[in-house]
């Protein structure tokens, strides 16, 4: 089985646990996720199966969309509902005040995530050190927030938010900082990742749905094609007379492939032959050099 499975991860489950379930359902050892989602969060978790794992470096996951609930009245050490309360307040903000705070938290902003984050320091995740009782000083980091739209007001002083942001943005830190701005402690009560790169809720399936498909032998039909998430990269079509070189994974003459000679050095490119995706290469001098040779296997192609 080769391709991407867009899993709708439930809350309370780690990304690693999702990978373990998919590995069992597919019988494929080469399974990994393309971007961690916090255990308490739900939403889109792209899972790479088989040859798809070799395309990890070419995926674009900079664009994220989250739906979150910010809850005013308490702040926690984890900045979400799983943590210990560190501050309380009852100066609950108006919708207008929250909207103004949201404006201050858009654009290039500095964040200091919770010490219970997956950010690594000296190779160790911060949360592991925090759970050992160590005092962890998390450095400020710059992130990009495209927009924060206010949604429905929720019970117990909550407000739904839709956040369009870049990679590495901590939504729980946005909720915490929003509380600081309006003068009322706050934390993140709920989080759903609605989009990660090209993966969104429209193609996501639950693990229960995946298990039912696997039982009927149909899970492979629901995998997303290997080249689906890398359509942002240039495509070149290799002429059939170079088939032997392609099959053997040897360097290809750039001048024999339309458009190859014009490529900038080391630009990743998708290579196709007879309409089938064969993998990734870069131009080095007068040749195209393979970076990931993924010979098509008709028996394992999505939709076959």
Question: From CA 228, how far away is CA 106, in angstroms rounded?
Answer: 30
Which tokens in the block code for residue 252? Answer: 């290809």
Counts for the chain of helices (H) and strands (E), in that order: 6, 18
The CB-based long-range contact list for 266-269 (8 Å cut-off, 24+ gap) reads 267/234, 268/58, 268/233, 268/234, 269/233, 269/234, 269/235, 269/236
- In whole angstroms, how far apart are CA 61 and each of 44, 55, 65, 170, 255? 12, 13, 11, 15, 33
Catalytic residue among 38, 80, 177, 227: 38
Task: Please name every residue paired with 293 in a beta bridge, in sequence order, or none if there are none.
Answer: 279
Cβ atoms of residues 33 and 47 within 8 Å: yes
Which tokens in the block code for residue 78? Answer: 């984890």
Task: Please name every residue paired with 171 in a beta bridge, in sequence order, or none if there are none.
Answer: none
Q: Is 38 a catalytic residue?
A: yes
Question: From CA 165, how far away is CA 108, in angstroms rounded?
Answer: 10
Indicate which residues carry an active-site annotation.
38
């Amino acid at each position: 089985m080769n391709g991407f499975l867009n899993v709708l991860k439930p809350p309370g489950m780690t990304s690693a646990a999702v990978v373990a379930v998919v590995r069992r359902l597919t019988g494929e050892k080469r399974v990994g996720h393309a971007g961690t989602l916090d255990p308490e969060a739900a939403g889109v978790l792209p899972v790479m199966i088989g040859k798809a794992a070799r395309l990890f470096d070419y995926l674009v996951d900079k664009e994220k969309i989250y739906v979150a609930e910010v809850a005013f009245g308490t702040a926690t050490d984890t900045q979400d509902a799983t943590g210990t309360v560190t501050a309380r307040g009852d100066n609950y903000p108006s919708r207008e005040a929250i909207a103004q705070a949201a404006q201050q938290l858009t654009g290039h902003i500095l964040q200091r995530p919770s010490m219970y984050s997956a950010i690594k320091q000296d190779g160790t995740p911060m949360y592991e050190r925090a759970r050992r009782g160590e005092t962890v000083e998390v450095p400020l980091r710059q992130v990009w927030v495209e927009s924060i739209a206010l949604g429905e007001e929720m019970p117990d002083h909550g407000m739904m938010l839709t956040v369009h942001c870049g990679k590495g943005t901590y939504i729980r830190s946005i909720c915490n900082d929003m509380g600081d701005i309006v003068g009322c402690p706050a934390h993140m009560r709920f989080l759903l990742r609605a989009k990660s790169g090209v993966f969104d809720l429209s193609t996501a399936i639950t693990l229960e749905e995946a298990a039912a498909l696997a039982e009927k032998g149909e899970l492979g039909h629901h995998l997303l094609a290997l080249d689906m998430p890398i359509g942002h990269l240039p495509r070149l079509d290799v002429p059939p007379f170079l088939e032997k070189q392609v099959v053997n994974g040897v360097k290809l003459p750039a001048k024999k492939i339309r458009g190859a000679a014009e490529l900038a050095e080391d630009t990743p490119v998708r290579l196709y032959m007879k309409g089938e995706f064969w993998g990734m290469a870069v131009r080095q001098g007068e040749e195209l050099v393979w970076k990931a040779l993924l010979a098509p296997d008709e028996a394992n192609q999505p939709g076959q």
